Amino acid sequence: MTTSKEIYEQAQAMAEQLVAWRRDIHMHPELGFTETRTAGLVAETLAELGLEVQPGVGKTGVVGYLGEGQPVIGIRADMDALPIQEANDVPYASQTPGLMHACGHDSHTAMLLGVANMLAKMPDRPPGQIRFLFQPSEEMSDDDNKSGAVRMIEDGALDDVDAVIALHVASDMPAGKVMVSEGFCTANEDSFEIVIKGTGGHGAFPHQAIDPTFILAQVLNAIHGIRARRIDPTKAAAISIGSIRAGNASNVIPSEVYLNGTMRSFDDDTRQRLRDELAQVLQVVQALGGEYTLDIWPGYASELQRPAGRGRDAHIHRRNCRF
């Protein structure tokens, strides 16, 4: 029987290879559903280990199969990068302008390749099948608002799977430490987009315009007041603005302002309350003479169990703010 000490020693012996995989992937980041190079590296490595390999699962995902029978245990890692320009001055920095692995998915992929390597060579590995799930597009959704997880599930990646193991690196934790949390580890996630519409005009004649930037200032205060004044203080919730865009010239009042953000919660009631309150506070736009559109994009849920095929696949659309 392989002991924990032997497993540790085998993992340590793979350190150089793990670092090489991670740095290779880090130098060549790819956005969601475009991870062709990363998926190719994964598929080639799994095939060299003697695993059955299924590429193209969930568009650009890869599934590796080791062993047969029950139970079927999935081990999952995500592969996509983020649209961020890397500022690190290291030899293995991103070679693709505007893209980098800023969330650790390069590490996740390298670690899962290491796990596959060790289990494939383990003479007394546990009975049943081990399914290695290399997921695309964790960070974003396709045109149907479906993430890589949903697309892989639709392609049968979790058929007959009894349990799935996954982890995420955390830069705020000391190296060598592992955190295990009872119950929820991640929150419900909803993204939203808002367009505040005025009439615009010349900066020297603000009285002749309906200034959406002035309205924006009131809206921002109202949005940030949702968590502070409209949500039960004993409930976990967050609402944040991620992007604001308006105008191009210093002397022109723009006709509209665009902003987007995210909402997080753990229970369904609080999740719905955040959505409803966001729609409610935006009525200040009309009170100040403007109009708006609001789109809410439901993301992953916090529930430990949910029906297969659901995730970033729904769209709540509110237009022209009449509730």
Three-state DSSP class for residue 6? helix
Residues designated catalytic: 80, 138
Rg (CA), the chain: 24
Interacting residues of 95 by C-beta distance below 8 A, sequence separation 6+:
27, 28
What domains, with CATH codes, occur in the chain? 4-165 (3.40.630.10), 188-319 (3.30.70.360)
Q: What is the pTM of this model?
A: 0.79
Query: In angstroms, rounded to a whole number, what is the distance separating the alpha carbons of residues 193 and 296?
Result: 7
Q: Which of 120, 150, 160, 145 is nearest to 57 (CA)?
A: 150
> What region does 317 belong to: left with phi over 0, alpha with psi -120 to 50, or beta?
beta
Query: In angstroms, rounded to a whole number, what is the distance separating the alpha carbons of residues 122 and 195?
Result: 56
Q: Which residue has the tokens 């603005």?
A: 241
- Is the Cβ–Cβ distance between 297 and 144 less than 8 Å? no
The DSSP bridge pattern shows strands 252-253 and 291-298 to be: unpaired
Query: In angstroms, rounded to a whole number, what is the distance separating the alpha carbons of residues 151 and 165?
Result: 19
pLDDT in tens, the chain (323 residues): 889 999 999 999 999 999 999 999 999 999 999 999 999 999 999 999 999 999 999 999 999 999 999 999 999 999 999 999 999 999 999 999 999 999 999 999 999 999 999 999 999 999 999 999 999 999 988 888 789 999 999 999 999 999 999 999 988 889 888 888 777 778 899 999 999 999 999 999 999 999 999 999 999 999 999 999 999 999 999 999 999 999 999 999 999 999 999 999 999 999 999 999 999 999 999 999 999 999 998 888 886 444 333 344 445 554 443 22
Three-state DSSP class for residue 141? coil
CA distances from residue 13 to 10, 69, 114, 118, 191 in whole angstroms, order as listed? 5, 30, 11, 11, 43
Query: In angstroms, rounded to a whole number, what is the distance separating the alpha carbons of residues 277 and 223?
Result: 8
Query: In angstroms, rounded to a whole number, what is the distance separating the alpha carbons of residues 233 and 12?
Result: 46
Interacting residues of 37 by C-beta distance below 8 A, sequence separation 6+:
28, 30
CA distances from residue 45 to 9, 17, 50, 115 in whole angstroms, order as listed? 21, 12, 9, 12
Three-state DSSP class for residue 39? helix
Query: In angstroms, rounded to a whole number, what is the distance separating the alpha carbons of residues 274 and 300?
Result: 15
State both tokens at 130: 């081990």
Query: In angstroms, rounded to a whole number, what is the distance separating the alpha carbons of residues 105 and 159?
Result: 24
The DSSP bridge pattern shows strands 316-319 and 237-245 to be: unpaired
Three-state DSSP class for residue 161? coil
